């Protein structure tokens, strides 16, 4: 009895070791078994043969695609053990089947593929039971199917008939699919057994659980089927096979395999499948799919069934993706979680290989995440994912650079510059990185000194980055040019402008075929009022790049500086035919039309801009009450009587209170709501605003520089720019725009107006359109209409210095100098360098007889912008009134000289970005 119990325990232990692949313990257990039990010699031969074969494969693992090894001396003993067992035939039938399976495996290792297939035929592989068998038997059957598939792949087909090829391919794939299904079943079963043993173990500690290894044959069975499907052009079944493997309940052994499969499936979904060819993972695949090779034959469903299947995840609350990007993103986020969990962070030399493998695996996942999230414009989420990757990123340039790019795309420019500094440290010879940092610094951040340092890094790099030296000088010139615009002293402006000019000349000489170098050289010459020279270089730029919008715009402004307004307007119209949604061109067009075609055409363009704005930005105007029809529509429809139309004074409170009850034009609804209703209220209000993929983060108020509609950070970041003065692009206006934004939000909250949706720059664009319309109305002496338009801009940004300036213009038109004085002072309290406000304030002070203060303000304005001819003229008038005729004459002459080269709108309205 004691011997029988001992034998039972030994058999149980041997079965456990075989299931858990602890082959090094088998010889010692076989000795104990032979000593305690009689008539176990055949079983011992089987166990010894199997253990020696497995240990040999562990020491000399097989590789996919390796050539046959042939007989090996180490395998001679294995064959002797197995032959002895099979020749005597004393074992039970199930153990004889096991002996045959091991022998077939040995034949494959030695390269005798046909004999291995004959062995599987004799043993009846397809008839072997899967129910009520120990886990190791499941492993043996799974390996047998994988080995059979490998043998079929190795053996040539005797006939060249295409049908035989198709049948052979299907047989091979079926073998691998069965091997993979049974392998999953085995791994789930062995993990269940191990966990049960741990739970039932006595308080006395036992040996640690043995980590399972897939081995060559199980891994081949799990990974080979989908490879063949893709190779044969059957992407539908390949994707289906991936999903089958991923739906199986996970085990510790399959975690790395699961991450690999999830990553591969995500890559296929992103690169090889469109939304039209996608199908739900829980549905049957389509019979015909555009994914598959049209010449392929066969169904997209399985051709076999197993008596026992691996467990799969199921339940009511399981999430199921509905489109390909959603499924790809889900798979990649799972892969990222697993990569972070299993990351090897140790820096000791022994772990270097594991660390590199872990890093490579994680990098692939993050690259695919970049593709998936970038397609949807989810840069905020991408930057958060890549921030988690920083745990891998010590001295790894690729992840740092990806992180910097994602921060840029998410609008987090300040943080992106800091990350780019680390990229420069990791890769100092790459000139594109400091150029990218300089681009950010010159954009919404307006860190011009930092941009200058980055540009000098490229210029001073030497021969290693010689091909980027021209770009370095271009960036340096832009930094100097923008600093010159910011400089408050005239002497410093001239010094910086000379530096900018020299840098642009150097860039143009190094790269004469670069249209940007010629363009920026022309722009800098134009800012310095060297109009003929600027015309020559802008024509060179257009010869190199004939459709460049900024070059066309500069050419138009240069022509307007020479007073060729009709030619300039023709250039603007030609540019708008290529770029119909470019608001900067449209703003210039309004000014030129006012000069040479009259206010009617300018108002038509304002109406056109409102229509474009409405179509591009599906936003709800927070100040729109939806009453009445369009003021612009009425005035434009009656063009001949435009100057004679009389509209009510918008400042009259009775106009608003009586608007709903009066039917006459003079007492109907206010011009504000007449104007708003047609252009902003013809479509239903959206409940929410979803910005396009290149969305801007609220955390960084800077604009999206690459947006086609607003490609100038100068235009949208610095308040409402350069419509009325170049001072709006000064460094002080960067602060001013932030101050006026904060004050506008406070004022809006006090007025209980609805909050603005989405990023700021669409609303800034809308406000500029209203202010342009107001300026046109002021030009034709229409204070009521100008007030209506100004009020619309004020509803959006009540504390903008441009809005306050326009209020002052309207007050001047009404003859109310004291009110105008107050508005100009308020504008200057927001933006102390707003030249137009300074000039108009000084003009009023002059009219009031306060000559000394007027002179002080005008001299300050000259320091800010020495090319403003209106300021020089006003200074001459003030000096003349004070009796200083000689100085006044010099001012008048300077004003005449500057006016002769003054464009319709300032040259600085053109964006200066790298």
Q: In the prediction, which pLDDT does 822 show?
A: 92
pLDDT score, position 38:
46
2-to-32, 37, 335, 529, 741 alpha-carbon distances in Å: 14, 11, 53, 111, 91
Largest Cα–Cα distance in the chain? 134
Cβ(871)–Cβ(883) below 8 Å: no
Question: pLDDT tens digits, residue range 278-313?
Answer: 888 877 777 767 666 666 655 556 778 888 888 888
Is residue 793 within 8 A of residue 800, CB to CB? The reply is yes
The pLDDT tens digits for 385-413 are 998 888 877 888 999 999 999 999 998 99
Q: Which of 250, 312, 304 is nearest to 281 (CA)?
A: 312
DSSP states of 820-877: HHHHHHHHHHH-TT-HHHHHHHHHHHHHTT-HHHHHHHHHHHHHH-TT-HHHHHHHHH
Can you tell me the distance from the alpha carbon of 885 to that of 660, in angstroms, rounded to the nearest whole number?
A: 58
Q: pLDDT at residue 823 above 50?
A: yes
pLDDT tens per residue, range 859-885: 999 988 888 889 999 999 999 999 888
- What pLDDT shows up at residue 161? 62
- State CA 672 to chain mean position distance: 40
Q: What is the pLDDT of residue 756?
A: 55
Lowest mean pLDDT among 144-158, 246-260, 734-748, 752-766: 734-748
Tens-digit pLDDT profile for residues 878-907: 999 998 889 999 999 999 988 888 999 999
Q: Let me know: does 805 contact 840? Beta carbons within 8 Å.
A: yes
* Ranges 150-164, 344-358, 486-500, most confident: 486-500
- What is the number of residues in the chain? 914
- The mean per-residue pLDDT over the stretch 427-454 comes to 92
pLDDT band for 201, please (50, 70, 90 cuts): low
- Single out the residue of 450, 452, 446, 494 nearest to residue 473, CA to CA: 452
The tokens 């360098």 sit on which residue?
Answer: 833
Q: CA 506 to CA 352: how far, in whole Å?
A: 47
Q: Two tokens at 149?
A: 């598939």
Q: At what angle do helices 162-200 and 2-19 cross, to 10 degrees?
A: 130
The owner of tokens 């000088």 is 473
Q: Which of 72, 327, 299 is nearest to 166 (CA)?
A: 299
Residue 732 vs residue 593, higher pLDDT: 593
Rounded to an integer, the average pLDDT of 25-33 is: 81
Distances, alpha carbon 46 to alpha carbons 43, 56, 88, 642, in Å: 5, 15, 12, 107
Mean pLDDT is lowest, of 84-98, 159-173, 745-759, 773-787, for 745-759
- Residue 721 · residue 714 · CB < 8 Å: yes
Separation of alpha carbons 29 and 467, rounded Å? 72
> Which residues face 87 on adjacent strands?
none
What are the φ and ψ backbone dihedral angles of 531, each rounded to 5 degrees?
-65, -50
Most confident of 47-51, 634-638, 695-699: 47-51
Q: Is 312 in contact with 248 (CB distance < 8 Å)?
A: yes
Strand partners for 312: 248
pTM: 0.74
Task: Kindly write down the DSSP assignment for every residue of 420-482, as one continuous string.
Answer: HHHHHHH-TT-THHHHHHHHHHHTTS--HHHHHHHHHHHHTTGGGGGGGHHHHHHHHHHHHHH
Nearest to 259 by CA among 338, 180, 321: 338
Q: Cα–Cα distance between 141 and 126 in angstroms, integer?
A: 9
191 — pLDDT class (breaks 50, 70, 90): confident
Kindly state the percentage of the chain with pLDDT values over 70.
78
Collapsed DSSP state (helix, strand, coil) of residue 346 = coil
Cβ count near 649 (within 10 Å): 15
Residue 506 has pLDDT above 90, yes or no: yes
Question: Which ranges in 21-61 belong to alpha helices (H)?
Answer: 26-36, 41-59
pLDDT at 631 over 60: no
Q: In this predicted model, what pLDDT tens digit does every residue of 337-358 receive, in sequence order? A: 888 777 777 777 877 777 787 8
Give the pLDDT score at 719.
35
In DSSP notation, 506-539 reads HHHHH-TT-HHHHHHHHHHHHHTT-HHHHHHHHH
* Helix 93-109 with 135-154: angle, nearest 10 deg: 40
Contact between 679 and 614 under an 8 Å Cβ cutoff? The reply is yes
Q: Which tokens go with 75?
A: 């395998």
What is the reported pLDDT for 466?
75
Q: Which residue has the tokens 């080979």?
A: 224
d(CA 237, CA 224): 13
pLDDT higher than 70, residue 702:
no
Residue 911 DSSP SS3: coil
Residue 368 has pLDDT above 80, yes or no: yes
Return the H-helix or E-strand segment holding 641. none
pLDDT at 36: 55
Taking CB atoms within 8 Å and a gap of at least 24, the contacts of 165-171 are: 166/297, 166/298, 169/228, 169/232, 170/298, 170/303
d(CA 520, CA 505): 9
Separation of alpha carbons 402 and 387, rounded Å: 10
CA neighbor of 224 nearest in space, from 183, 163, 271: 183
DSSP 8-state symbol, 248: B
Q: What's the mean per-residue pLDDT of the chain? A: 79
What is the DSSP-derived secondary structure letter of residue 68? Answer: P
Res. 62 pLDDT band, cuts 50 70 90: confident
Contacts of 898 (CB under 8 A, 6+ apart): 529, 867, 868, 869, 872
Q: Taking 60 as the threshold, does the pLDDT of residue 174 lie above it?
A: yes
At a CB cut-off of 8 Å and minimum separation 6, what does 77 contact?
49, 52
Query: Which residue carries 């996942």 as its tokens?
Result: 365
Give pLDDT, residue 10: 81
Residue 246 is encoded by which pair of tokens? 């991923």
């Amino acid at each position: 009895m004691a011997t029988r119990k001992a034998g039972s325990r030994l058999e149980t232990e041997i079965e456990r070791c075989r299931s858990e692949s602890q082959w090094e313990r088998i010889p010692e257990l076989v000795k104990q078994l032979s000593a305690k039990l009689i008539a176990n010699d055949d079983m011992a031969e089987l166990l010894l043969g199997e253990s020696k074969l497995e240990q040999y494969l562990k020491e000399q693992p097989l590789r996919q695609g390796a050539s046959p090894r042939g007989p090996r001396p180490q395998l001679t003993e294995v064959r002797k053990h197995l032959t002895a067992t099979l020749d005597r035939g004393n074992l039970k039938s199930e153990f004889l089947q096991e002996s045959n399976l091991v022998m077939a495996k040995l034949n494959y290792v030695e390269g005798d593929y046909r004999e291995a297939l004959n062995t599987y035929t004799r043993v009846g592989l397809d008839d072997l039971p899967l129910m009520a068998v120990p886990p190791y038997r499941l492993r043996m059957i799974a390996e047998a199917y994988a080995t059979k598939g490998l043998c079929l792949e190795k053996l040539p087909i005797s006939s060249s008939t295409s049908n035989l090829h198709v049948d052979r391919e299907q047989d091979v794939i079926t073998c691998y699919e069965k091997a993979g299904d049974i392998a999953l079943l085995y791994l789930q079963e062995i993990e269940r057994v191990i966990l049960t043993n741990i739970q039932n173990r006595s308080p006395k500690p036992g040996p640690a659980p043995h980590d399972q290894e897939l081995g060559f044959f199980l891994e081949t069975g799990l990974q080979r089927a989908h490879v063949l499907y893709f190779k044969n052009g059957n992407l539908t079944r390949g994707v289906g096979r991936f999903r089958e493997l991923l739906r199986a309940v996970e085990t510790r052994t399959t975690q790395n395999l699961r991450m690999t499969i999830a990553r591969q499936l995500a890559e296929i979904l992103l690169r090889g499948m469109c939304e039209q060819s996608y199908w739900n993972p829980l549905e049957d695949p389509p019979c015909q799919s555009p994914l598959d090779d049209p010449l392929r034959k066969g169904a997209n469903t399985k051709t076999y069934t197993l008596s026992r299947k691996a467990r799969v995840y199921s339940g009511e609350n399981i999430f199921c993706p509905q489109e390909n990007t959603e499924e790809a993103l889900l798979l990649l986020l799972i892969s990222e979680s697993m990569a972070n969990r299993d990351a090897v962070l140790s820096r000791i030399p022994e772990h270097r290989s594991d660390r590199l493998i872990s890093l490579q695996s994680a990098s692939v996942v993050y690259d695919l995440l970049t593709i998936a999230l970038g397609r949807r414009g989810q840069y905020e989420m991408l930057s958060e994912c890549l921030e988690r990757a920083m745990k891998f990123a010590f001295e790894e340039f690729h992840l740092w650079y990806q992180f910097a790019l994602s921060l840029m795309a998410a609008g987090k420019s300040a943080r992106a510059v800091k990350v780019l500094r680390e990229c420069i440290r990791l890769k100092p010879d790459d000139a594109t990185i400091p150029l990218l940092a300089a681009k950010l610094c010159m954009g919404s951040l307006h860190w011009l000194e930092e941009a200058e340092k980055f540009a000098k890094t490229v210029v001073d790099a030497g021969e290693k980055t010689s091909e980027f030296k021209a770009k370095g000088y271009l960036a340096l010139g832009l930094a100097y040019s923008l600093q010159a615009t910011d400089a408050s002293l005239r002497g410093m402006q001239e010094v910086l402008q000379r530096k900018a000019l020299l840098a642009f000349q150097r860039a143009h000489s190094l790269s004469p075929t670069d249209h940007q170098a010629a363009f920026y050289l022309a722009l800098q010459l134009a800012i310095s009022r060297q109009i003929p020279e600027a015309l020559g270089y802008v024509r060179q730029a257009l010869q190199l790049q004939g459709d460049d919008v900024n070059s066309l715009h500069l050419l138009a402004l240069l022509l307007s500086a020479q007073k060729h307004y009709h030619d300039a307007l023709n250039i603007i119209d030609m540019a708008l035919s290529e770029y119909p949604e470019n608001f900067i061109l449209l703003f210039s067009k309004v000014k030129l039309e006012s000069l040479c075609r009259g206010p009617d055409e300018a108002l038509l363009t304002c109406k056109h801009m409102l229509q474009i704005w409405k179509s591009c930005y599906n936003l709800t105007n927070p100040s729109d009450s939806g009453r009445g029809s369009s003021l612009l529509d009425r005035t434009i429809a009656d063009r001949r009587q435009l100057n004679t139309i009389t509209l009510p004074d918008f400042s009259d409170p009775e106009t608003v209170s009586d608007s709903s009850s009066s039917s006459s034009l003079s007492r109907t609804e206010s011009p504000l709501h007449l104007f708003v209703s047609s252009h902003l209220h013809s479509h239903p209000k959206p409940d929410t605003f979803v910005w396009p993929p290149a969305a801007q983060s609220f955390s960084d108020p800077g604009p999206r520089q690459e947006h086609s509609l607003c490609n100038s950070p100068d235009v949208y970041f610095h308040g409402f720019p350069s419509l009325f003065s170049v001072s709006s692009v000064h460094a002080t206006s960067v602060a001013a725009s932030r101050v006026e934004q904060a004050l506008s939000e406070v004022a809006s909250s006090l007025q209980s107006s609805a909050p603005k949706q989405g990023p700021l720059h669409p609303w800034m664009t809308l406000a500029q359109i209203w202010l342009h319309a107001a300026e046109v109305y002021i030009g034709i002496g229409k204070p009521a209409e100008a007030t209506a338009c100004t009020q619309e801009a004020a509803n959006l940004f009540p504390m903008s210095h441009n809005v306050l300036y326009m209020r002052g213009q309207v007050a001047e038109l009404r003859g109310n100098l004291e009110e105008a004085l107050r508005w100009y002072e308020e504008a200057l309290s927001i933006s102390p360098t707003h030249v137009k406000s300074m000039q108009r304030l000084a003009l009023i002070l002059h009219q009031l007889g306060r000559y000394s203060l007027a002179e002080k303000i005008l001299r300050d304005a000259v320091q800010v912008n020495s090319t403003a001819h209106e300021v020089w003229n006003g200074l001459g008038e003030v000096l003349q009134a004070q009796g200083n005729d000689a100085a006044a004459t010099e001012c008048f002459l300077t004003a005449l000289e500057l006016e002769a080269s003054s464009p319709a709108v300032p040259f600085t309205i053109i964006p200066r970005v790298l």
